[in-house]
Chains A and B, each alone.
Chain A
Amino acid sequence: MTDKSLLDIRKLRKTFPVKANVFSTKSIPLKAVDGVNLQIRKGETLGLVGESGCGKTTVGRCLLRLYQPDSGRIWLEADPDVVAEVEARDAEREEIEAELQSVFENGSARGQSRKIRELKQKIRTIKAVADRKAAEYDLLSMPAARMQRARKEIQMVFQDPWASLNPQMVVKDLIGEGPYTFGTHRGRTLDRWVNELLDKVGLPKNAANRYPHEFSGGQRQRIGIARALALTPKLIVCDEPVSALDVSVQAQVLNLLISLQDDFDLAYLFIAHDLSVVQYVSDRVAVMYLGKVVELADSRQLYQSPRHPYTISLLSSIPVADPDIRVEGQILEGDVPSPINPPPGCSFHPRCPHRIDPCDKILPELGRDRDGHRIACHNPPND
């Protein structure tokens, strides 16, 4: 971990229980986020891109604890020594978990109930020790009081500017709600702070006493941004902040987000399905497919020399606003498989034009690093 790290997401997993089919009563787990590792540095924009249903929103919501992840750690400005120690324990625990799993799988579980009990006990103890160690920095094992402080640092801007603002509240209260409840600003200073925020996001002063429905989509998104800024967080998770807006208004909001970043020294996790938008605002971009990150690179590198077959096809299926370029790139066949029953091995293999023998058996790790450009692929075409 570098000293500039703000947030370090490790092995994040989130499943949702869903019904197996329309008629069944049994529920089975849908792997929305399946072991995601990501680091967000101070003041940077990390883009998160991928087709609908790949788990982008779920990652964002886990960071704000709007969803409770199944497992993983989310380190906030953590002490590297603590991280190292906790990770050692977590690794130890995972080994024992694997052992336990193999006991079950061998079908010999019946005669070994004592061993199983022992292993389970061991796992619990190690986890308790690790969680206690991690409590100061890990969002997922923090005690409530520490969490309250951490909450101030991470805010969110939502996709739908119509649904995400309480229609009963005037703009002044919508923006001032956070500072008021956290007690950072009160009375006259709160009013002044709200006015300053309105100014920063390009809304007139008289907006303060109006209701959200009096504003257009773009202006509402500005209100949402002011609301997110009110606690001067270090990170704002922007979940498709411009997808619901018209292109001409979309540009206004993107420009605003970019200029606020310098003023407030903000980091963004910028989530969107539109790669051109993500590529434009981001310093680094992570590409997701079926709950996993498959490529992570500097924004320019990702565009100039994509390495993962999925990213390559994704880039070539984006229409280019130039009628002289009518290249028929590689068009992906088929649909994205269901995350309820993802393909084994590399989950992209059924659609991948470069698949080789181990692709349908062995899961490729996000490893193949080249100057910080990482991919999870057994047979990258351009390497």
Chain B
Amino acid sequence: MENVLEVNDLATYFFMHDYIIRAVDGVDFTLAKGETLGIVGESGCGKSMTSMSLMRLIPDPPGKIVHGEVNLKGTDLVKLSEEKMRRYRGNEISMIFQEPMTSLNPVYTIGFQISEVLRLHRDIEKREALREAARLLKMVGMSDPDERVHEYPFQLSGGLRQRAMIAIAMACEPSVMIADEPTTALDVTIQAQILRLMGELKEAKDTSIAFITHDLAVIAGFTDRVMVMYAGVAVEDAPVKELFKNPLHPYTQGLLGSVPVLGVGKLNEDGTRRLLQAIPGTLPDARRFPRGCRFAPRCPHAMKRCWEAEPEMVEVAPGHNVRCYLHHEVVRERKVRNLGAAGRRIAKLQEHDRKKREAKRARAERKENKRDGVS
């Protein structure tokens, strides 16, 4: 399938007074036409900053995209001027947020805000834009759209505000939509309505969606593929069914084990207490990530090498990637078995190349840090 969006090695840092926050630290993913990718992880792992980087909305200073590309249908958004980027934003790539109240302007009517977006990207006159706005509100399931266009955001309930936000985001039928925790602030019954609406629109318009959430259950029902983030990097990505059937990274396993499952109470069959499989400890401080695997301090399987160098992402099955040494073994064994003596030689060379690349990157990073340190 054709990829609409390709994100390569994206990194966004915040250069604070006396330290650096590596909010997004080398993230890769792709989004095919009509595909929905779930991005899941706990608060502070860099989900929002990833999406803000895609939209080029990182507050600068202190934030900065330090390297990487965001390829939208062949154009690298990172390299665009702000002027050109404005033409893409809302038109080709748009975003909806957790709290629509912060992104809707409280002093303008809903209708006005939608028609502004339309008029920015399309050559239509005011009256027609307002008519179009009403049509969009109807599309997102609002009753009496002709009256609603004259209402202000505070007059709408949380669920209706999110519908209005979706109407604005879909106004120009973008090829990519980023939804950052769009249902987190809503009650479950309203969440179900919004998810259904987004699903219907996605089907109808063939939009590609990056769906960000901390809730694995929402991911399960709504996405095709999932990327699990931890401390600024992706630690696992896989097709959604594969991820839930066969979670490989210890963090993914921990996340799945720590949410209570409906229908399972606190007592086992024999009356003993059943405890959740909690992950010990807390997220690492974004100012100083561990040198090795970022999950090592909380990982039940951490080995010596986990503390020494960060593991790479390896493909363990078609489309299933994991960043964990436990699975490096598996991959190496399989490779070596498949290729015999020649394979071993190739593997060695590859390893050599990888080390060289890594060293080069580390050097560049040091230089970068130094430069930003003095400026």
Q: Which of A275, A282, A318, A325 has the most CB of B within 10 A?
A: A318
| Residues from 232 to 250 in A contacting B, C-beta threshold 8 Å | 246-250
The yes or no answer to A181 lying at the interface (CB within 8 A) is: no
- List residues of chain B with CB within 8 A of the CB of A303: 262-263
Q: Are A319 and B221 in contact (CB under 8 A)?
A: yes
Residue from A248, A315, A323 in contact with B279 in the complex, judged by beta carbons closer than 8 Å = A248
Q: A251-B258, A273-B187 are in contact. Are A299 and B192 (CB under 8 A)?
A: no
B249 at the interface (CB under 8 A from A): no
Cβ contact of A251, chosen from B241, B265, B266, B279, cutoff 8 A: B279
Interface size, chain A (Cβ < 8 Å) = 48
With both beta carbons as reference points, the residue of chain A lying nearest to B273 in the complex is identified as A258
User: In the complex, what residue of chain B is closest to A328 when comparing beta carbons?
Assistant: B196
Does A255 count as interface, using CB distance less than 8 angstroms? Answer: yes
Question: By the criterion CB–CB under 8 Å, are B262 and A279 in contact?
Answer: yes
- Which chain A residues numbered 30 to 67 have a C-beta less than 8 Å away from chain B? 51-52
**Subset of 9 A-B contacts with CB under 8 Å:** A51-B187, A259-B273, A276-B261, A281-B260, A315-B262, A320-B217, A321-B244, A332-B189, A332-B192
Nearest A-chain residue to B278, judged by Cβ = A251
The answer to whether B187 touches A250, judged by C-beta atoms less than 8 angstroms apart, is: no
Contacts of B259 in A (CB 8 A): 247, 251, 276, 321
Whether B273 contacts A276 by the Cβ 8 Å rule is no
CB distance from B244 to the nearest CB of A (A): 5
* With known contacts A51-B187, A281-B266, A255–B276 Cβ distance under 8 A: yes
A35–B126 Cα distance when bound, in Å, is 52
**Contact of B192 with A331 in the complex, beta carbons under 8 Å:** yes
When distances are taken between beta carbons in the complex, the residues of chain B under 8 Å from A216 are: 282
B298 CB → nearest A CB, Å: 8
User: Which of B159, B191, B264, B279 meets A280, CB within 8 Å?
Assistant: B264
Residues of B within 8 A of A249 (CB): 278, 282
Whether B261 and A321, one on each chain, are in contact in the complex, defined by CB atoms closer than 8 angstroms, is yes
A320 touches B221 (CB 8 A): yes
Decide if A248 touches B255 in the complex (CB within 8 Å): yes
10 more A-B residue pairs beyond the given contacts A251-B277, A258-B275, with a C-beta to C-beta distance below 8 A: A51-B189, A247-B259, A249-B282, A251-B257, A254-B278, A255-B275, A259-B273, A331-B189, A335-B159, A335-B160
Contact B217 A321 (CB under 8 A): yes
Query: Residues of B contacting A262 with CB < 8 Å?
Result: 273
- Residue A218 at the B interface, CB < 8 A? yes
Contact A335 B282 (CB under 8 A): no
**Contact of A317 (CB < 8 Å), options: B188, B241, B275:** B188
Which residues 209-241 in B have Cβ within 8 Å of A in the complex?
214-218, 220-222, 240-241
B103 is an interface residue with CB less than 8 A from chain A: no
User: Are A247 and B255 in contact (CB-based, < 8 A)?
Assistant: yes
A255 to B273, CA, bound (A): 10
